[in-house]
Chain A
């Protein structure tokens, strides 16, 4: 069973800065279809990226996904105030979600 780990646990940044979030799989992902979600307090998660690098409908192009094998990244090129949230990576499986990375001011 593949386990996803995310780092760092918390990323403290300021608006305008760039953010790089890491998601590592315990085994090589043979189909590399990884998704990323954003969750703000009191809200449901929102799909940002699917199939590793495809942006979901309405997602700004400052969000990008990349990776293969066991290492994947979500990059936010310039943080906007609304981007401060928790981000989860996800792959198909019985425990599909990583533990999350909080992007904090």
Chain B
């Protein structure tokens, strides 16, 4: 089974702090994604990556950056957390290969609260 794990289920940070959200997948997937989920807005894509050291902006990249130094790990960074970044963050991965071609597999989510 594909497994996507995220470093924390719940996180509380203060305004201005630098925040790291980590995501790891164990199925050798090429693609990895970071979304934020807000009530009434669904999931919105922040950043995605097609390969190691590759990154592409999604629909709402402002205030975020990402890092993908290894194929299995994709990190989301909030350089200076703000209260409007309080949200649920979901990581996902997918592959171009195999029977689950381009199906996205999701992690459990990190609920981030910025005070």
Are chains A and B native binding partners rather than an unrelated pairing? no
Q: Which residues of B contact A (CB under 8 A)?
A: none
